[in-house]
Amino acid sequence: MRSFQYIFLMTVLFALGGYWAYTLADGLLNRGEYVRHLQSQVFPDSVTSLLTWLLPALNLLMLIFLLHAPWQRAGIFVSTVLFSLTAMYAALVIADYFPQAPCNCIGTVRNLSWEGHFILNLAGAALSLCGLFLNGRERRKV
């Protein structure tokens, strides 16, 4: 049973690492479009300016954490938080919380509806939570 848990944990780490690597590369290679999409959201300009650098930095930090075994749990935890926050943001948009619905062009899959973003981020949060659980079990067995 232990080998299955280890393989599943490695699959989770690979999936999270791939997601954050893609997100980082997309944000850096398409920087102008990335900034425009962030500016089309509901955040004040000061927050948007911060997010244009903070989010790619967090993506890079998570990749480093996910690749370095002693820090993997922190990387998985931050992944859980970011996926959860993004799911909550999508839920607020779906619930018409904001006076005007922001462009759904933000995110990894730009053509996805807000409902799709919500489901994608819920799935990412669930996957991350599984990773936290499995990482904790593997650490206790060592």
Residue 101 confidence (pLDDT): 82
| pLDDT at residue 9 is higher than 70 | yes
Structure tokens at 122: 């819920």
Residue 47 confidence (pLDDT): 92
| pLDDT at residue 139 is higher than 80 | no
Q: What is the pLDDT of residues 27-86, one digit of tens each?
A: 899 999 989 888 889 989 999 999 999 999 999 999 999 999 899 999 999 999 999 999
Cβ-based neighbours of 60, under 8 Å, separated by 6 or more = 24
Q: What is the pLDDT of residues 90-109, one digit of tens each?
A: 999 999 999 888 887 776 67
What is the number of residues in the chain?
142
Q: Residue by residue, what is the 3-state secondary structure of the chain?
A: CHHHHHHHHHHHHHHHHHHHHHHHHHHHHCHHHHHHHHHCCCCCHHHHHHHHHHHHHHHHHHHHHHHCHHHHHHHHHHHHHHHHHHHHHHHHHHCCCCCCCCCCCCCCCCCCCHHHHHHHHHHHHHHHHHHHHHHHHHHHHC
| pLDDT at residue 141 is higher than 70 | no
Residue 31 confidence (pLDDT): 92
| pLDDT at residue 138 is higher than 70 | no
